[in-house]
Structure 1
Amino acid sequence: MVIMGVDLGKARTGLAICDRAEMLAVPLCVVEEHNRERLIDKIAEKAAESKAELLVVGLPKNMDGSEGESAVSARETAALLAEKTKLPIELCDERGTTITAHNYLNETNTRGKKRKAAVDAVAATVILQNHLDKRRHNRQK
């Protein structure tokens, strides 16, 4: 199954995709869009192009596990994506993914404009890879 990971941001939304075997997530692109309706259209277009069968949307929880305004907005956007794409949506706790993405970019010495452009796609990749690992673990039980 092809799964697309989505890291919703205020200015940029990172997208990632996995292989059919659900082993490895890779960055797909970053969508720069402030308008939610246009953003949903662009994500839906990328999902269709990629033949995604499931969307995994990052859920920005607070460090204590509670949900604030960002989580409410992510849930609303996920519901609108489900309506637009007719694809199943799964929410995935994204706590720490941006930090992990920055650490990966540090390791590859990615700096400046390249870093700013890549961090959201890398964060989406981390979200998706975490989801894939959890699915694999649950199948092995």
Structure 2
Amino acid sequence: MAIKKCVKAETVLAASLLNNQAVAETIVKYFPEQTIILVCAGSSNRFALEDAYGAGHLITCLHAIHSFELTDASISAKAVYPFYEQQSLEVLKSSAVKKMMIQYGYENELHFVSQKNIFSTVPVLMDEQLLRIEDVLTKKRSHAK
């Protein structure tokens, strides 16, 4: 799993179409001067359309509220997104993620995971668990006292 490969990073936020706007706002609010690296799940170390689409959506959300310097990969993801902006379900249905979801019995969830910005929760990886960013910040503040 991609998120497990990031455990040594200082901060790891979990983003998807479902919460990209909230993640973008969190990055701008708490990490505006830090280097942001998007790590996509991928598909057996190969390019995955759904990852480029999701990354492009997150980058679009970020750029709407703050200016960032982009790498070539980020520019590419941001360029892919507008072509399919209103077609997130179709992107997922035509990508490798559909096969994976069918394999694990989650085909009916494709419509749900194709929705954009329906959650304001931002999960952050801490001690190998995903916790709400608010809980992590509260915990860090109480330890700082």
User: TM-score interval w.r.t. the shorter chain?
Assistant: 0.3 to 0.5
Q: TM-score, normalised by structure 2?
A: 0.36
- More strand per residue: 1 or 2? 1
Q: TM-score, normalised by structure 1?
A: 0.37
Structure label with greater radius of gyration: 2
